Structures are given as structure tokens and as C-alpha cells.
Chain A
Amino acid sequence: MTQEITRAIIDGILVGGVYALMAVGLTLIFGVLDIINIAQGVLVILGAYLSYSLSTKAHIDLFVGLLITVPAMFVIGVVIHWAFIRRLRGTERTSMTLLVTYAVALIIEGILYKVYGADNVSLNASYTTSSLHVFGFYLPWIFIYGFILAVVLVLAIYALLYRTRFGRSVRATMQDETAARLVGIDVNRVAALTFGIGVAVTAVGGMLYGATNSFNPNSGYDLISRLLAIIILGGLGSVGGALAAAVFMITLESVVTIWQPTWAVAVFYAALVLVLLIRPTGFFGRKAVRAQ
């Protein structure tokens, strides 16, 4: 039993890294723009399909392909913001973005169905099925790489937010948009770039999701509720919180799976409710994030 629990915890930590990569963009976008990006799940799948095309058509390695898909997704994010998000104003903006981003999700899903069809595909490379053998456990390389990438990306985004001039603009916008405008920050530009960065990061999560699961254009809808739960638990707007929450939630789910797999999903959401009852701001609440 000890071995099973250890295995479940290891699985949870490693798989949690993949979920963190999918959730980081969502929390970043919410933190800056107050946007609940319902399209995040579909954007993950879009990232997976871009990697799929590069891998199968151009035979580019999945990780090398990120050098193309990340900038491509950044451009897509900026375009989505320019075309759909920036026009939304007023008190109903947050709720309106729910509808708008849902529409964006439907549009992207429709395009993916047209281009790729409904069949499931997956990303394959030697490291997607090979493992590292440590202390009697096989640790899949793809999850190890994914977890390392998650930590590196969280640190990179942290550095971007707290060590650069752009980051100061972003944090100023997070704290008070009106005040940020008054001190000369181009809030629209910050918003567009942040949305672009949030979507760009999703390309990494998409590649890793596609390398660990098969997917079709519809797969994103299975993800979005989990990703929302993760960013709430981590603290809306907290990039590090997304990583901590993803690891916590997936580990909890994995451990429950040992005894009763059918309860695992319920426990995932029950944990969210329980933590919010005790700590309404999540692990790293936004107030704290903004005050840093």
C-alpha cells in the first residue's frame, strides 16, 4: 500500500506540472484583465494541434516545435484580444467576457474540426513512452520534462512580472487600471501583450497535454472546469499558486484513485470548496499577489 500511495503522489506531482502549464495562462489573463477565459481549454487543444502539425508534417521535435508554436500562439492571443476583448467596457465586462470567450472557443473548435476532423490523435516521440527508473518506480520522461518546464515557466513569468519594466506595468494594471493610466501606462497595450503571453504559455501546456493524452477538437471542454478550479484554489492571478494548486489537486485525485476511482473527480471539486471555506482567497490570493 505504501508503494501505491508513493506512486500516486509521484504521479500527482508530475501530472500536476502539465495541468499547471495549462492553467498558468488562464490565471495570468484573469489577474491582469479580469477575464474568465472560457476558451482556455480549446486554446490548449489548439496548441496541441499546432505541435501535431509540426511533428507530423515537418517532422519537428515536439520541444523544438515550441519555438514556433509559442510565438504563433502569442500572435493568436493578441489577435483574439484585439478582435474580441478590447471592445468590452463597463460594469458587465467580466460577465460579457464569459460569452465572448465562449464564442471564441466555438469558433476555434469549428476551425479545428474543419482542418483536422473528429478523430483523436496524439503527439508521439521517443520520450513520450520512455521512463526514468528510480527506486523501483518508472517516471515517464514526458512528465519529468513537463514538470521542469512548469517550474521554469513559472519562474520566468515571475521574473517578467517582478524584474522588468513591463512587469511593473502589468502589476500596476492589476492593482488599479485607472491609476495605471494616470501614470502613463498604455493599459490597452499591456492588456493585449498579457493576453498574448497567457495564450503563448498555453502552447506549452497544449503540447504536453497532447503528448500525454489523445485529443480531438472537443477535448478542451473536459479541461476547462478543472483549470478554473486550479486557478481559484491557487489564488486568482497567482502564477505560482496555479502550480501549487495543480500539484495539490492532481495528487489528491491520484491518491483517492487507489481506493475509489469514481470518487476522484468529486474529491477534486470537494477539495476546492473546502479550501475556499477555510481560505477564501485560495493558496495565494490575489490581494496578496497584488500587494507584492
Chain B
Amino acid sequence: MRSNLPWFSKNAIIISAIALSVGALAACTSSSSSSTSTPTSASPKSSGSAASSAPINIGASLSLHGDFSADGANFEQGYKLWAADVNAHGGINGRQVKLTILDDNSDPNQAVTNYTTLINTDHVDLTFGPFSSKLTTPASAVAARAGYAFIEGAGGAPTVFNTPSNQSAHNVFDVSLPIADEMVPFVNYIASLPASQRPKTAAYPMADDPFADPPVQLAQQKLSALGVKTVYSKVFPAESTQYTTQAGLVAAQHPDLVVLGSTDVPTVQAFIKAFAQQHYTPKMFIAAAGPDQGAAFTKAVGAGNATGMMVPNGWYPSVAIPASQAMVAEYVKQYGGTPSAVGADVAEAYSVGEVAAQAITATGGVDNAKIIAWLHSGQTLNTVQGTVKFDSLGQNGNADAFIFQWQDNGKNFVQVLPQGAAGTVAILATKPAWSS
């Protein structure tokens, strides 16, 4: 049938389809995704005896482009820094380490494809995790089906550990802090304050993300129980490109405390800028992620605006762990900058390598079944983030939650909570006004 659509309409339909497809694709890649059915036929490497001198090939997919590219780049630096250090010291069991890193463009589906390629085509000996819980969840299922251990440093959401594949294969090992409880030290701090000094009201804007929401929701629940009134609590799309309205709605309520469920630096920066435009400075501002990204954060928001910003994490550059200090010095030597500018992603990635190295050394090779069993055997491992001990689902039960804060006009990123813990300095209790 001959179409009677005018010329414009035909083109409008084509371009509409493109716009909607691109939009839908963006939405899909930004939302939680279950793994696609990707059959794997490879068996994990079980050779790799101590006698072998072939390099240990470790595969990882990282977000070198896309929404998480800044974090992905930091993770790549962390993996490479660890590999270089190991190789400079003679390798593991006399074997050099070779990294095969593929770019997933921050797309969970591409991460699944990449790990399938790494396992089935590249036949890597081990797999290291990608960046973010969103990608780790489906990617770890690929590794589980192939019998690979999946040691990772940036997948701490409950959704990562509770997948059927992990509950069956127990192959996920997160060397970092599980995120659900990461704001508990902050809540405890509020609880420790005299009632007259506690924030009266709080706002909880959250990105629609498995990483961002759980700690904020738990904090809201606990703070509400303490009598802190919730004046705003809404989830916004993680793929949003403008936050003016959300931030304006929060600012209009003038809450004493803002607990932002952010996944990255741009989200925090957008809220900061919008708050400044609305002449509103919360007395306390804590974000789930973003302020932990060192220079990447201060560069985006300005050092002055960083002051007083808090973020939960398990590591900071000046932590009193000798291996961490050596890593930071090595990082600065190799990539430049200052120690306080080293992002937590670097330490998380480096820790993944450290855990893998200890497992390979202990098991005498790269037999993934042995490595999985050994990592679940109750060993306490050492990393630049502190000690690691995995529970049955691969969560790091030894990880301590700390709250960090930018102080001294954005020059220093320091541990401020829990109070009395080693390395804790005095918290800046009231956030200074935004600088222009």
C-alpha cells in the first residue's frame, strides 16, 4: 500500500524511532539488569601449576568510556599499578602477570559480552571485576557459569551477592566494604549528639541505582527513628542529565541534612551547583559516592565547595597501612598529582590484585575451584584497604565502615568517623557556605 504520509512525517517517524531507541538504550544501560543468557563452554583453568612459567593471564572488563569512565580509568590504573608492582618483584610463584582489559562502555550487556570473550576466547586464567554493582551483577554470573572466581572491588550492593548464581557458585569476592551499612557510622554520630544539636530535618534524593539506594534508605530509616524528620525522599533516574528541579525541591525545604544517593561525581556536582544557586547550604551533606574520587571530585566542584562534604568508604590516601602508603607513593610517581588526590577506586582495584595474588600463592596455581574454596576457608588477607575476610556470599566481613570528609578548603580528605577510631580526626560539624 502506498504511503500517503508527507515527506516530513516519514522522516519524523524515522528520527523519532532513533531518538526513542537511543533514549531507551540509555535507560536500559543505566538500569539494573539481569544477565543475558550467554552459554559458556569453557572450563576454568586448572593447570597453572607452580612449575609453569607462563604468564598468568588475568581478564577484566572496565568502563573506559561511558557514564563510569572516570571510575573505570581509575580502576584501570589500580589494576595496572598492582600488576607492575607484582611483576617488578618477580611475579606470583615466579610467573609474571599479564592483564587483558576490555572496554565495556559502562554497559552491563557489553560487560557480559566481554567476560564471555575473556573466558571463552582469550582463555584467561582469572577474572577481575568491573566497576559498579550494576555491571558486576550480570558479569559475575558469566564467571559463575564457567566456574571462575570473580574477585572484585566495586560491586558491594546487596544485589551482587544475592544472585542465584552466586548463591549457588559462591564465586563472588568483594574486597571492599559492603555498601548497605556504610552510612551507619554517620547515623551513630548523629545519635551520639545531644538532641538539641541533631539535625531536625533531612532530605534523601536517590539515584535509581542498586549501589546508591540501600545505604541511603537504611540511613533514612535509622535517622527517622532518631526523630530526624524526612522532608524529601525520592528516587530520580540515574541517567538524568539535569537535576535543577530535584535540587530546587530539596532546597525549598531547607533541610538541615542532605543524604544524597549518588553514583558519581556529576550527580553530586549538579546538586552542589543547584544548591548554591538557591542560596541554600545544608548543615551536613553526605553523598553515597562522588566525594571519594579525589582530584576528580575537587576538579568538578571546586576545592572550596568540597569542604565539609562527606562520603562513606573503607579507604583514604593517608590511611596508616604501610602497603597503602607505598601504593600511593607509587601512584603519584607514575601518574603525578598529590597523595590526597588518589581516588578510592585505585585502592579497590589494587586490593583485588592483592587478594588474587595471595590466593594464587596459597593454592599454588590458578585453579579457580581451589581459589574459590581457599577464599571461603576463613583466611584473613591483607590489602591496601585493610584486612579482608569473606563470608559465605563473598562479602568482606572485616571491612570497617568509615566516613570521610574534605577539610582545609578542599586540600585534605580525612577520616572523621567513627569517632575514636584510629586515624579519625575531628569532624567539621557544620558545612561552610558554598564558595562562588
B-binding residues in A (CB < 8 A): 3-4, 7-8, 11-12, 15, 34, 36, 94, 98, 109, 113, 117-122, 124, 126, 128-131, 133, 138, 140, 142-143, 212-219, 221-226, 228-229, 231-232, 235-236, 250, 253-254, 257-258, 260-262, 264-265, 268-269, 272-273, 276, 280-282, 285-287
Contact = CB atoms under 8 A, between A and B. Distances in A.
Given A214-B266, A265-B239, A281-B6, A229 B249 contact: no
Given A138-B278, A228-B16, A281-B8, 18 more contacts: A11-B244, A12-B245, A15-B242, A113-B65, A117-B73, A119-B265, A138-B277, A140-B274, A213-B266, A216-B69, A218-B106, A257-B245, A257-B249, A261-B240, A264-B237, A269-B20, A281-B12, A286-B8
Contacts, number: 188
Nearest to A256: B245
Given A11-B248, A212-B242, A221-B26, A121 B299 contact: yes
Interface centre among B19, B67, B301 (most CB of A within 10 A): B19
B273 interface: yes
B218 interface: no
B1 to A, nearest CB: 18
B162 interface: no
Given A120-B300, A236-B12, A276-B16, A261 B266 contact: no
Given A119-B70, A129-B273, A280-B12, A124 B302 contact: yes
Contacts of A120: 70, 264-266, 269, 296, 299-300
B5 A280 contact: yes
Contact count band on B: 35 or more
Contacts of A258: 245, 249
A214 B16 CA distance: 28
Contact of B69 (A36, A130, A218): A218
Contacts of B72: 118
A4 B252 contact: yes
B189 interface: no
Q: Chain A contact residues: over half helix, strand or loop, or mixed?
A: helix
A129 B434 contact: yes
Contacts of B12: 232, 236, 276, 280-282
A257 B66 contact: no
Contacts of A12: 245
Nearest to A8: B245
Contact of A11 (B15, B22, B245): B245
Interface string B1-28: 0000111110111011011101100110
A216 B63 CA distance: 13
B236 A257 contact: yes
For the complex of A and B, 7 pairs with smallest distance between CB atoms? A261-B236, A228-B19, A225-B22, A129-B276, A225-B23, A140-B277, A214-B269
A4 B249 contact: yes
A265 B240 contact: yes
A7 B15 contact: no
Given A7-B249, A214-B265, A232 B19 contact: yes
Given A119-B300, A214-B270, A265-B239, A130 B277 contact: yes
Contacts of A119: 70, 73, 265, 295-296, 299-300
B326 interface: no
Contacts of B301: 122, 214
